[in-house]
Amino acid sequence: MTPEELDVWNVVRSINALWTTGRVDELGDHFHPRMIAITPADREPLVGKEACIDSWRRFTRLAKGLSWVETDPRVEIHGDTAVVAYTYCAACEMDGRPVELRGRDLFVMHRERGRWWVVADQFSPFPARE
C-alpha cells in the first residue's frame, strides 16, 4: 500500500477497534453526518450517523466476548474518495451460543476538512457454499 492508502486503512482499523472494544459512541468521530449503511440485519438502508451508530450499538450489546480480525485489505483512492474492501472473521457468543461470522466489508470514505470520513458502509456474510 502507498502511504496514503495505509492512512485510509488505518482509519478503518481504528473504527473497527472502537466498536469491537465497546467504544461505539466514538464512531461519531469517523462517521459523516449523512452516512449510509447497508447491513445484513436491517431491511432498509441506515441513513445518518446516529442511525448507523445505533445499529452498531445494538450488535455490540448482543455479541459477548467479541473477537475481530480483518484480512485481505484493498484500498483504492480517487481524489478525495477512497474505497476500502476487506474480509473479516468475528467470533462471539450470542444468546449463550458460540457464533462465528465471516464476511466482507466495503467502506466508501470522503476526505473533508483534511480527514477521512465514512460516507457509506456495506457489509455482508460470505455467500453460502453450494
- DSSP letters for 7-35: HHHHHHHHHHHHHHTT-GGGGGGTEEEEE
Residue 72 half-sphere exposure, CB side, CA atoms within 13 Å? 10
Query: Within a 10 A sphere around the Cβ of 70, how many other Cβ atoms?
Result: 16
Give 67-115 as a DSSP string: EEEEEEEEEEEETTEEEEEEEEEEEEEETTEEEEEEEEEEEEEEEETTE
pLDDT in tens, 71-86: 999 999 999 999 999 9
Model pTM score: 0.91
User: Coil, strand, or helix at residue 59?
Assistant: helix
pLDDT tens figures, 12-62: 999 999 999 999 999 999 999 999 999 988 899 999 999 999 999 999 998
pLDDT at site 130: 64
Domains of the chain by range and CATH? 3-119 (3.10.450.50)
- Cell output for 75: 484500498
Rounded-to-integer distance, Cα 28 and Cα 87, Å: 23
